[in-house]
Structure 1
Amino acid sequence: MRGAGQGAGYDRSALADQGGDARVSVALRQARRSGLEVLRAARADGYAIAAFNAVNLDTAQAVVQAAEAQRAPVILQFSQNAARHGGLAPLAALGLSLKADAGVPVILHFDHAETPEIAVQALRSGFEGVMLEGDDPALLRPLAALAHAGGGYLEAEYEVVEKGERRGERHCPARLGHFAQESHCDLLAVDLGSAHKHEQKDAQLDFARLDALAQATPLPLVLHGASSVPEAQLAQAARQGIAKVNLATDLTLAFTGAVRTALGGGDTDPRAYLGAGRRAMQARAEAYIALLGGAGRA
């Protein structure tokens, strides 16, 4: 497994400070249903929660408005790349504000934290869930403890889904349950054949492998790179154990395409062209929510 090598350069002291538990947002304790409870229910009932990546106010509003229109729980995600662009603290404040005002459950998630330090910062900024790249249980366990202390959850990367230069090997499905126990994680990201940042829907999911993984653990399984997957296969994956489906590229294409069209028509007011992008992204998000079985579940 990759963990030992990846963890060598991390500052483990950032995870040792469990006295920081009180700094994890107390708002998480006051939620009607925790994000983990929502995800467990999805796994048990054979549907998936759509997890949409946002980068700013308009894209985040598109996610929440889509969920409200479909009366569905939703995961609003910001990645470490988004935090590099807009800052982690401002994005956390934005997400928490939208979550507080939403008429449906909104789970605020930090996607693809590259180090434990960033993951800790995200949890202490109010993110309910966090995904850490890497599979070293020694790094995952204290991070899970911090997340659990605040009523949150940890998503572990059991396998790498192709992302730029990042590649990984598939592990034996039978080891999944042991890894979950050893890492204390709550969600497991697995590789079924999808790819990040892939604009064509030509990936073919390995459903025999999904069955084996789903039989190995009752934990919610996570599919990354879902924009690369044909829609019928996404719906099937939700029925067979995938409880969280990460979507970014397809929604970004919808947003950007609408902005380009508005600019081509002569709009120069940012409210006009950003609004067009928001509406287009919302429409795509609503379609995915319905496809994955989440509509009406709020």
Structure 2
Amino acid sequence: MPLVTTKNLLLDAQNGHYAVGAFNIENMEMAQAVIQAGEESHSPLIIQTTPSTLKYASPSLFFSIVQSLAASSNIPVAMHLDHGASFDQCCQVIQAGYTSVMIDGSKLSFEENIQITKKVVETADCCSIPVEAELGTVGGKEDTHEVQDKDALYTNPERAKEFVERTGISSLAVAIGTAHGFYKGIPKLDFARLAQIQEIVSIPLVLHGASGVPDDAVRQSISLGICKVNFATELRAHFTDACRKILVDPDVIDPKKYGAAGRDAVKEFVKERILVCGSDGKV
């Protein structure tokens, strides 16, 4: 089926008290894996690329891959820009065909974040494209942006309400103690803060940095309003580890052999995350 936007996917998740998994891809095999997992699980999906991935290959190329796979699939798939670095980049992926964008102004001041987010929303609205933004700063490293744990700023509930009202965004990524990349210990999420945000913010909430967060913590976050859960680091790790096992054999020179192994590993991981999100059987 044609690609869909994230707006109705996340509103359905909000009403149904589950979350849609958002999976970052780096190549064709990972895109195949994610969609195959969604088909086998009868689950809606969001496929994402980050700014660094779009330096590796163009938005139009990644869009063409995902669009082609989705066209022959029977599940709803959205194509999303994760952590959009600028207004221009958001415009670029919209022109390429992406059906959802995130503008990440979280490292800016509150007012500057509002200004750039509102500008993206006004432009995206012309194309009926939903916009995700972030308030507060998720720790860890995402592309070239790195936040040390001590500098990570949790989302203020009252400011979140004001931010949503002034920008008109469709979904809000909140900082409640998660981090990008692998964790050195067990993350401690601020569920009380999340509950406060859910109480006064009506739009779907997004959890970034979910790779490595215990399943029970993800489920509890979903029960408190999280409707989209991002996974990136673990997909890369599963793909690479599977390839390494095949490449131990020096006679292997065909990229299809280790590419297929990576694809299978990512598919099984994504199916597990879909179950945790509770989106299985929703299609």
* TM-score higher than 0.5: yes
Match of 2:119 in 1: 142
Given candidates 17, 31, 34, the residue that maps to 1:63 is 34
| TM-superposed deviation, 1:252 | 1.2
What CA distance in whole angstroms lies between the structure 1 residues aligned with 2:24 and 2:175?
19
Given candidates 258, 262, 270, the residue that maps to 2:255 is 270
Residue identity (%): 32
**Letter of the 1:224 counterpart:** H
What CA distance in whole angstroms lies between the structure 2 residues aligned with 1:216 and 1:110?
26
Match of 2:229 in 1: 245
Distance 1:200 1:231, change over 3 A: farther
What CA distance in whole angstroms lies between the structure 2 residues aligned with 1:244 and 1:171?
17
Q: Which structure shows the bigger proportion of residues in helix conformation?
A: 1
Match of 1:97 in 2: 68
What CA distance in whole angstroms lies between the structure 2 residues aligned with 1:246 and 1:201?
19
The answer to whether the 8 A contact 2:99-2:129 is kept is: yes
| TM-superposed deviation, 1:264 | 1.0
The answer to whether structure 1 residue 288 and structure 2 residue 259 are counterparts is no
The answer to whether structure 1 residue 214 and structure 2 residue 187 are counterparts is no
The answer to whether structure 1 residue 194 and structure 2 residue 165 are counterparts is no
- Report the TM-score, using the length of structure 1 for normalisation: 0.86
C-alpha deviations, 1:206-247, integer Å up to 9, x for none? 111110111111111111110031111111211210001000
What CA distance in whole angstroms lies between the structure 2 residues aligned with 1:102 and 1:200?
38
Q: How many residues align?
A: 269
C-alpha deviations, 1:37-76, integer Å up to 9, x for none? 1101111221100000001101111111111110000000
The answer to whether structure 1 residue 124 and structure 2 residue 95 are counterparts is yes
Q: Which deviates further from its counterpart, 85-94 or 181-190? A: 85-94
Q: Which runs of 5+ in 2 are unaligned?
A: 107-112
**Letter of the 1:291 counterpart:** V
What CA distance in whole angstroms lies between the structure 1 residues aligned with 2:37 and 2:126?
31
Q: Which deviates further from its counterpart, 231-240 or 58-67? A: 231-240
The answer to whether the 8 A contact 2:38-2:75 is kept is: yes
What CA distance in whole angstroms lies between the structure 1 residues aligned with 2:30 and 2:215?
22
What CA distance in whole angstroms lies between the structure 2 residues aligned with 1:287 and 1:201?
22
Match of 1:162 in 2: 139
| TM-superposed deviation, 1:35 | 2.2
The answer to whether the 8 A contact 2:138-2:153 is kept is: no
Distance 1:228 1:163, change over 3 A: same
Match of 1:255, SS state, is: helix
